[in-house]
Structure 1
Amino acid sequence: MATTEIRFSGSGGQGLLLSARILAAALALQGRNVAQSNAYEPVSRGGLSRSDLVISEGEADFPLARRLDYLLILDLAGLGVSDHLLSPRSVVLADAELVPDPPRGDFRTLALPFAETARSLGNPRVTNIVALGTLCALSELCPPELLLERVLAMTPAKFDRLNRDAFAAGQAMAVHEPA
């Protein structure tokens, strides 16, 4: 049974768990089977935070990632804790500013300006949405329109324009990266 495993990793307060919930909801609307698990240190901001999605054609037999297809790292707190789950098929997406020395190895690593892009849009809190747009475009796990619809449905309406812009910026960032 084919599975896709994704880990969102960084520090508390970056919206990683929200991003994983949004992607899981979009995939579920497509009829995909998704198991999600979260782990975080008991602090509201800072400290390790991560969320795993296991996407399966059939019922997911285990909710924790065992071999990552995609690893998104938005902060140094998430660095190093997932390296043992990387394989030649893995793609690592790391924030170029907050993770200056991302994992390197027999897998693909892309250091991209997620936080810088969010700041240029006027709010660093949409770094997670920028990264989600990039992940969507590179992974082709679900149609971008569906994922954006879930972003808008699961975040406050007053941030709709900002989230649209952040998602579009993330998608555009992926266009410049070879598949």
Structure 2
Amino acid sequence: MNRPASLTALFLAFSRLALQGFGGVLAVAQRELVERLGWMTREEFVETLAIAQVLPGPNVVNLSMMVGDRFFGTRGAMAALAGMLAAPAVIVLCLAAAYGQLHAHPVAANALRGMGAVASGLVLATGFKLLPALNKSPLGKPAAFGLALAALVLIGVLRWPLIGVLALVGGAGMALAWWRMK
């Protein structure tokens, strides 16, 4: 089995991986890490991915840090993480700068409005798909719907900042779930 020659090679491999996919690069990660680079066997990839899926955060980010740690310890984890995030962050910053120049143009404004509607629809669709999971949640459906309604009112009607809503509603949800689990 091969291994990355250096931290730079690790960084570049994960940068290339991050730039090959948008919204889901796990298939690309398997092809790169197992087939092209030979840094992992298929079995090792599946085992590492299984652990990455259990950890909080995006699976491929967790996977990158675990692969980096495997070869170079903490420095490798940070190099792989930087590789996964640096190029996408630069792209997002460039898009934000372009938006700063184009936000007043009617076509750009309408396109962004449309993207906002699509994003809202995707979030709602995901929420509907996850509704059956509430049957097993210690929070329960009535409390979950109440917290969702509170978030909707605080953000949509009262225009509270997101961080405040997350702190209040998220904190209340965690406290209620913890209390019910006792």
TM-score, normalisation: structure 2: 0.29
Which is helix-richer, 1 or 2?
A: 2
Which is strand-richer, 1 or 2?
A: 1
TM-score, normalisation: structure 1: 0.29
Higher alpha-carbon Rg: 2
Query: Looking at both structures, which has the greater relative contact order when contacts are Cα pairs under 8 Å and sequence separation is at least 6?
Result: 1
